[in-house]
Amino acid sequence: MTYNIALIFDKKIDKKIIDLYFEIKLGLDIIFDLNKLSIPHITVIKFESRAELNKKELANITKNIKSEYFVDFSGITILPSKNKGSWIEISILKNQELINLQNKLKKKLKQFKLISGIDDRFRPHITLAKTRNNKIKFNKLDYSILRKKQVSAKLAIGKADETFEFFK
C-alpha cells in the first residue's frame, strides 16, 4: 500500500489552482490531470507499507510534527517525461523548513520503503498534468496564483491513489 504525506491548502487556494489548471488544459492532449475532485497538494514524502495502515497508525507518523507551514509558489514548470510528453507543475520554493520536515518524516519512516524525491532529489511542486506530447501553448492566463507568497498549507497523510484522500 502506498501512502503520501503532503501539504494541502484551504478550499480557496484549491479553487484558484484548479481554475488555473482548467484554463491551461484547453487544447492539451492530457494523460493525467487534476479533476474537480482532486486535492492539489505538495508531496513531502511518499512511502510503501506491506500491510494497510489504519488511521491511528498513520496519525502516529505525523504525531509531534508541526502541522502548519507557509510556502511560496514560484511559477509554472514544464518538464519532459521519460515516455514522451511533459509534466506541468506549479513550482514551490524549497526552503529549510520543508527540508527539515522531510528529514523528520524520514526518521519516523525507517521501517518503510521511501519512494519519492528524497534529500537532494526533493523538489516541492504541485502536479497539474501530464501531456502525451510536448505541444504546450498557454493562452492569456491569470498567473497571480503562481506568484503567491506565504501560502498556508497543512500537513496531511493519506493513500497515494487517484482519489488523493488525505486527513489532517
CATH number at 98 reads 3.90.1140.10
- Strand partners for 62: none
pLDDT exceeding 90 applies to what percent of the chain? 56
| Cα distance between residue 77 and residue 92, in whole Å | 10
Domain limits at 76?
A: 2-160
Q: How far is C-alpha 19 from the geometric centre of its chain's CA atoms?
A: 17
pTM equals 0.90
pLDDT exceeding 70 applies to what percent of the chain? 93
What's the pLDDT band for 167 if we cut at 50, 70, 90?
Answer: low
Q: 71-83 b/e with 16+ CB inside 10 Å = b?
A: bebbebbeeeeee
The answer to whether residue 166 is domain-embedded is no
- Each residue's pLDDT tens digit, 23-49: 888 778 888 877 767 789 999 999 999
Given this model, what pLDDT does residue 143 score? 74
Given this model, what pLDDT does residue 166 score? 63
Listed residue (66, 64, 86, 65) closest to 77, CA to CA: 86
The answer to whether residue 70 is domain-embedded is yes
Q: What backbone phi and psi angles, to 5 degrees, belong to 76?
A: -110, 140
Q: How do 86-92 and 166-167 pair as beta strands?
A: unpaired
The answer to whether residue 135 is domain-embedded is yes
The answer to whether residue 168 is domain-embedded is no
How many separate domains does the chain show? 1
- Each residue's pLDDT tens digit, 76-99: 999 988 888 899 999 999 999 999
- Strand partners for 70: 152
Q: Which amino acid makes up residue 115? A: I
